[in-house]
Amino acid sequence: MSQPFDLSQFPDLPPEVVKAFEAAQFELSVERAARQHEQAVGAEKDAFITELKALIEKLEGQVGQYRHAKFGPKSEKLDPAQLELALEDLEAAIAETQEQIAAVEAKIAASETDPEKKAPRKKRKARALPEHLPRVERVIEPDSIVCPCGCGDMVKIGEDRVDRLDYIPARYQVIVTIHPKYACPKGRAGVVQAKAPAHLLEGSWPTEALLAQIAVSKYSEHMPLNRQAVVMARHGVPIDRSVLADWMGRTGALIAPVVDRMAVLLKQGSTRLYVDETTAPVLDPGRGKTKTGYLWAVLRDDRGWNGPAPPGVVFHYRPGRKGEYADEILTGFNGTIQVDAYGGYTHLAKTDRKGGEPLKLALCWAHGRRKLIKAKPKKGSPIVDEALVRIAALYKIEDAIRGSAPDHRCAVRQDLSRPLVDQFFAWLPAQAARVSRKSDLGAALAYMLRRQDGFRLFLEDDHVDMDSNLVENAIRSPAMNRRNALFAGHDEGGRSWARFASLIGSCKMNGVEPYAYLRDLFTRLANGHLDKDIDTLMPWAYAAVPIPSQ
C-alpha cells in the first residue's frame, strides 16, 4: 500500500494547490475506506454463505433420516411407541436447524449495502387455532394519536391481529361445602337442613373432577402416580403417592359394573369383533419379581362397512395367555373374530368350543406382510418384493371401499380382490419351493400358505376387514402406560388398569374427551345413576350428547 504524500516537504506551494491536494487526498481515503469496508462485508458474507451451505446440508441429512424412520422399511420393525419418540426428536432437530438457517439468512440480508435488498424474515405459515378456545384481547394503542399536522386526533383505518396460544397453569382449590341448620325459634318444630351432595369417594378429599384428572393423567397421558405426586407438590399440594393409589383403586372398583356392561354390549352388537392381547407385567411379591399378565382387547368397529353399532373397546386382564381365557372372554359371542395367527385362538373355531358356536377366524394380512419384510435377506429378495406388490394392490382396493355399504364392498371384492388373492396363493407355492423351508423366508411363505383359508375370509364376509390393525392401534395406549409404569403392583391393579383403559380407549374411538366423560361419569355414579339406566353411561352414549363443561 502506498504511503500518503507529505506536503511539509514543499513549504512554498500556493494555498490553492495545498487545498486541492488535501481534497484529493480526502477523496482517496474515503474510497480506500469504502473499498476496505466492501472487502470486509464480502468476507463476512462469504462466511455466512459457507455457514448457510453447511446448515442446508445438515437439514437435508435430517430430513432424509426422518423420511427413512417414518417411511422406510425399518418402520415395520420399530415398536410404534419407539418410532414416535424417534420422530419427535428428529422433528425437534429439524426445527432447530431451520431456525439457525433463518438466522443466517437474516444476517446475509442485513449485510447487503443496498437497503432495498434487505429482505424481511420469512414468516411461518399461519395456523388457525381452535375456535372453541376462549379469546382474551389485548389492544396496544400508540403513545399518542394526535396528528402532527395539527388537525386533531388520527382516525382508525384498520388493525393487525395476531393469535398466540397461551397456557394457564393448573390451580388446585378447596371446595368448602356448608350446610346451615334451621330450627323453630320457639322449639315447636324439628331441624331443617339441606341434604349433603353425594360424593364418589365418601369420606375422602377428592372431587369427581380431581379423580378424573388423575385417572386421565395416569391411563391416557401415561404419567405414573409418583410423578403426579411430584407435580402436585410443586403446586403446593403435597399428597403422597399411596393416597393417590388408594383413590384410584377405590374408583376402579366403582367403575367395574360400567365396563362389564360395555363388554356385554360389544358382543351383542356385532357379528364381527377384533381380538388381540398384549403383555401386562404384574409384581409377584412372593418371588420378588414380576410375572407376565395379559390385557386381552376385544374391539368393535363397524365403520368400515358403515354399520350402525358404535365403536368401542374393552380390555380384560388375565394372568396368562392360554386359549381358555379367550374362550371365557368371548363367551356368548357367535360370529367372526379378526385375529393374528396365535394358536390360542385356534380352538375357538372347533365344534367343541365351550363359550358358544364355533367362531370364524379372519387372519391379518398385515401380520403376513410383516413376516415377509422381516424375512427379507439383507441383499434383497425378488420374491419378497413381488409379494409386497401383490399385497399392496389388495390394500389399494380396500382403501377405496372403506366405509362403503356391505353390498358394494362385496361386489368390488368379488370383481377385483378375489382374482388377485387366487393369483397370489397360486403363485406362492412355487416361490416356497425355491427357498429352504428352514430359512426365515421359507417360514414366512409357509405361514401364509398354511393359513390361506383365514386370509381368504374377508372375501366371503363383507363385514370383515383385511387386517386387525384397528385393535393393534387400540392396545398401543396400554403399552405406553406399561413402559412408563413398568408393571402393575397386583393382579387387581391389572384389572383396574384394564377398566380405565377400556373407558378411555372407547372415548377416543367415539371422539369423546376422556376427562369430561370421566368427570361426568363419576358424578353420575355418586348420585346413583348406575341403578337407573346403565346403558346411558357408555362412552358412545356421550358422543351424541355434549358433556356439560365445568
Give CA–CA dist 498/475, Å, rounded: 11
Looking at the predicted structure, is the pLDDT value of residue 155 above 60? Answer: yes
Which residue would you say has higher pLDDT here, 105 or 484? 105
Looking at the predicted structure, is the pLDDT value of residue 528 above 50? Answer: yes
Q: What is the pLDDT of residue 128?
A: 80
Neighbour tally for 7: CB within 10 Å: 13
Take residue 524 and report the three cell numbers written for it: 353420575
**Angle made by CA atoms 72, 77, 79, in degrees to the nearest 5:** 110
Indicate the pLDDT class of residue 533, thresholds 50, 70 and 90.
confident
At 248-262, the pLDDT tens digits run 888 998 999 999 999
Indicate the pLDDT class of residue 406, thresholds 50, 70 and 90.
very high
Q: How many residues does the chain have?
A: 550
Indicate the pLDDT class of residue 80, thresholds 50, 70 and 90.
low
High-pLDDT (> 90) share of the chain, %: 46
Q: What is the pLDDT of residue 245?
A: 87
| Bridge partner list, 273 | 337
Indicate the pLDDT class of residue 28, thresholds 50, 70 and 90.
low
| Bridge partner list, 278 | 295
Indicate the pLDDT class of residue 489, thresholds 50, 70 and 90.
very low
Mean pLDDT of 386-415: 95
Q: Is the dihedral of CA 388, 391, 393, 399 positive or negative?
A: negative
Give CA–CA dist 316/486, Å, rounded: 19
Domain residue limits, the chain? 1-68+80-95, 208-362+486-550, 365-467
Q: What is the pLDDT of residue 428?
A: 95
Which residue would you say has higher pLDDT here, 12 or 234? 234
